[in-house]
C-alpha cells in the first residue's frame, strides 16, 4: 500500500465538520437545545506515514526494550501464573479512567460468582467485562491473521455482554455521540465524534492500520488507541475497547505473551497527561502522544517485574508456613496457581490440577490451617476460600504504581 508523505506535525489528524442538532421535544424543557455543533472526523491512517521526534524515538525504544525484558524474564514464567492478576489490574485501571472502580477482592469474588452461576457485585461485574474484553483482544493478537471490523465488535461484545448495556454489545453506533456537555445535545460538548454514517469506513481504515507491520509496535498501539478514541464507534465502552486494542497489537507484534503490563494504571494515574496526549494526537502532534504512551508502557513493565517479585516472595512465604512439601504435592500446585485463582474451591482446583476430590480437599485444608487462604463467609459462597494476602498485595501494587506515576 503506498504511504502518504510524512505529515507536518502541526497539521491536525482530522477536520471539524459543522452539523445541526434539531430541537428535541422529548428532552426536559431546559435541555431542548437546537443549533450548530462541530463533529471531529479523523483522518485516514491506514496508508499514512508518521514522523517521530528524537524524544519519542528514545521513549519508544525504551518501551520496546522493557517489553522484551518482561517477556523474556526466565525467573517469572515457570513459577507464576500472573496473566489473570495482571489482566484484572489492567482492566480495573482501564475502567477507573471511565469512573468505574473495584478492588481486586471485589473483582475476584465477582469472577468466582459468575463462574459458579451466582450473582455478584454488579459494579465489579461490569469491570469484569473489561477482563473479558482484554482476554478477547490478547487472543485476537495471538492469531496469525488480519484483524477485521468483526474482531473489534467481538471485543466490544465481550466488554458489555454481562452488563445492563448488553443490548448494545457488539453494535456500531447509528447515532451521534459526544463527551461532556449534557445528555441531550452535543452543543457545548467537550468532544463530538464523527457522524455515524462515517463510522464503518473509519473502522475499516483502523483495522487496515492495525494490520500494518512497518511501524514500531508501541507507536502502532498508541496511534490505534488514539484513533479509536477519536472514531468513538460505540454508544458506550469506547475508551475500554481502545485500550484493549493496545494489547491486541502488542500480542500480534510479539511484544507480550499472556501476561500484559497494566499500561492503563499509568494512564489513569496521569489522567491529565493522558487526555492532553490524546489531544496532541488529534492536533497532529503524534510524537508527544507516542512519547507519553511509551513512558507509561515502560513504567508498567517495570512495575510488573516488581509485582512478580512480590508474588514470588509471598509464595515462598506460603511454602515455608506449610513446611516440607513434595515437589509434586497438590498443596504446592495450589500455591503456584493462587495468582490465577485467588478464590479457590474443590471443583475449580480439581479441574486446574487434575487431582482427586480428596487430594484437593486435603490440600485446601492444609492451606487454610496455615493461614494461606481464608474461608469466604456467607452461605451464598458454599465451600470456598480466598487468598487475602495476594489480593491485598495486588491492590498495594496498583496504589504504588499510581503514586509513582
Per-residue pLDDT of the chain (405 residues; tens, 9 = 90+): 445 554 555 578 999 999 999 998 888 887 788 999 999 999 999 999 999 999 999 999 999 999 999 888 755 443 334 556 666 666 666 655 666 666 777 777 877 877 777 766 677 777 778 888 988 999 999 998 999 999 999 999 999 998 888 999 999 999 999 999 888 999 999 999 999 999 999 999 999 999 999 999 999 999 999 999 999 999 999 998 999 999 999 999 999 987 788 898 888 888 889 999 999 999 999 999 999 999 999 999 998 888 888 998 999 999 999 988 888 899 999 999 998 888 999 999 999 999 999 999 999 999 999 999 999 865 554 689 999 999 999 888 888 887 776
Looking only at the bridges linking them, the beta strands covering 385-386 and 343-344 are antiparallel
C-alpha span between 57 and 17 (Å, rounded)? 33
**Between the CA of residue 276 and those of 192, 237, 265, what are the distances in Å?**
16, 20, 16
- The domain defined by 306-404 folds into Arc Repressor Mutant, subunit A (1.10.10)
> Nine-digit cell at 95?
475502567
Residue 61: how many CA atoms within 13 Å on its side-chain side? 7
Q: Does residue 353 sit in helix, strand or coil?
A: helix
The residues pairing with 18 across neighbouring beta strands, listed in sequence order, are: 38
The Cβ of residue 326 has, within 10 Å, a number of other Cβ atoms equal to 8
> Nine-digit cell at 232?
468513538
**Placement of cell 471539524 in the chain:** 16
pTM value is: 0.89
- Residues 156/162/167/169 CA torsion (nearest 10 deg): 10
Instruction: Show Cβ contacts of residue 184 under 8 Å, excluding neighbours closer than 6 positions.
Output: 24, 27, 28, 31, 32, 33
What does the DSSP 8-state code read for residue 190? S
Where in the chain are the domains? 14-303, 306-404
> Nine-digit cell at 8?
507536518
CATH of domain 14-303: 1.10.3290.10
Amino acid at each position: 500500500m503506498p504511504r502518504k508523505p510524512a505529515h507536518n506535525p502541526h497539521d491536525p489528524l482530522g477536520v471539524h465538520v459543522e452539523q445541526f442538532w434539531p430541537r428535541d421535544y422529548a428532552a426536559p424543557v431546559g435541555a431542548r437545545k437546537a443549533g450548530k455543533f462541530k463533529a471531529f472526523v479523523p483522518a485516514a491512517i491506514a496508508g499514512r506515514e508518521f514522523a517521530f521526534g528524537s524524544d519519542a524515538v528514545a521513549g519508544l525504544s525504551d518501551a520496546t526494550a522493557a517489553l522484551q525484558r518482561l517477556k523474556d524474564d526466565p525467573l517469572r514464567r515457570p513459577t507464576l501464573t500472573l496473566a489473570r492478576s495482571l489482566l484484572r489490574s489492567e482492566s480495573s485501571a482501564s475502567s477507573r479512567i471511565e469512573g468505574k472502580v473495584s478492588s481486586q477482592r471485589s473483582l475476584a469474588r465477582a469472577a468466582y460468582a459468575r463462574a459458579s452461576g451466582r450473582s455478584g457485585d454488579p459494579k465489579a461485574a461490569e469491570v469484569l467485562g473489561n477482563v473479558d474484553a482484554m482476554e478477547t483482544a490478547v487472543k485476537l493478537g495471538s492469531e496469525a491473521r488480519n484483524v477485521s471490523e468483526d474482531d473489534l465488535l467481538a471485543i466490544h461484545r465481550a466488554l458489555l455482554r454481562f452488563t445492563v448495556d448488553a443490548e448494545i454489545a457488539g453494535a456500531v453506533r447509528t447515532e451521534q455521540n459526544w463527551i461532556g456537555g449534557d445528555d441531550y445535545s452535543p452543543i457545548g460538548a467537550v468532544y463530538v465524534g464523527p457522524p455515524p454514517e462515517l463510522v464503518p469506513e473509519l473502522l475499516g481504515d483502523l483495522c487496515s492500520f492495525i494490520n500494518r507491520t512497518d511501524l514500531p509496535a508501541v507507536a502502532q498501539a498508541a496511534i490505534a488507541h488514539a484513533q479509536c478514541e477519536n472514531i468513538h464507534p460505540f454508544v458506550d465502552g469506547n475508551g475500554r475497547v481502545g485500550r484493549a486494542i493496545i494489547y491486541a497489537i502488542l500480542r500480534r507484534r510479539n511484544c507480550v505473551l499472556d501476561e500484559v503490563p497494566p499500561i492503563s494504571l499509568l494512564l489513569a494515574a496521569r489522567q491529565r497527561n493522558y487526555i492532553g496526549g490524546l489531544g496532541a494526537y488529534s492536533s497532529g502532534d503524534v510524537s508527544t502522544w507516542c512519547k507519553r504512551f511509551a513512558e507509561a508502557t515502560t513504567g508498567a513493565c517495570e512495575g510488573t517485574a516488581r509485582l512478580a517479585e512480590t508474588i514470588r516472595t509471598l509464595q515462598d512465604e506460603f511454602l515455608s508456613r506449610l513446611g516440607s512439601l513434595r515437589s509434586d504435592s497438590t498443596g504446592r500446585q495450589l500455591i503456584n496457581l493462587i495468582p490465577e485463582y485467588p478464590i479457590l474451591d474443590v471443583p475449580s482446583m480439581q479441574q486446574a490440577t487434575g487431582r482427586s476430590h480428596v487430594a484437593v480437599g486435603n490440600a485446601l485444608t492444609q492451606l487454610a490451617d496455615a493461614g494461606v487462604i481464608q474461608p469466604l463467609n456467607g452461605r451464598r459462597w458454599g465451600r470456598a476460600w480466598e487468598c487475602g494476602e495476594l489480593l491485598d498485595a495486588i491492590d498495594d501494587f496498583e496504589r504504588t504504581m499510581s503514586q509513582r506515576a
